[in-house]
Amino acid sequence: MNLLLVYILLFKAVITSFSGMSSLPMVRDDFVTKRHVLTDRQLNTAIVAGRTGPGPNGLYLVSVGYFAAGMPGAIAGLIALITPAFLIIPMMSWIGRYANQPRVRGAIRAVILASAGLLIAASIPLTMDAVTGPFAAAVVAVSFFILTFTEIESWWVMAGAALVGLASQLVG
């Protein structure tokens, strides 16, 4: 895949999201659905790789770039990930003047709600690919319950799910 296209698609995903994972619907649409460069399984792997290491949730975009175009794609993903940080500095003075206006605040709330809906829509096919049986469905359900109703950190839930999966493989 063309490196410039990898950069542009990942930059578009980064610039239009408010948090790391809210770029997922756009990334899935561009790389899995439209261009067929990645599979849902590769996108799941990229998300796991990004969430496993320290750093922002959007770090999975580096792995997406890697799956799309190898090491140069990973570098393009990293550059796409850090570009907004360099653009935001001059924009802060302009945004700061209008941030307290009710229309601007309403628009920001609407964009956040829309991105939450898109995130749910993109998560369903990824979940369908990752959940391969009743045991995996039970692990997902328990993990969802723990993350939703407790204050336990997500990495503890991931570690626990990994141990449960490993134990189930050893037991058979």
Provide block-wise average pLDDT over 10 residues at a time, the chain (172 residues): 95 81 89 96 91 80 95 96 84 76 86 83 85 91 94 92 92 82
CA nearest 50: which of 79, 77, 90?
77
Q: Give residue 52's pLDDT.
A: 82
pLDDT at 121: 85
pLDDT at 170: 92
Q: Tell me what pLDDT residue 46 has.
A: 93
Give residue for tokens 């956040």.
112
The reported pLDDT for the residue numbered 98 is: 81
Closest CA to 56 of 31, 86, 96, 85: 85
Amino acid 18: pLDDT: 65
Q: What is the pLDDT of residue 76?
A: 96
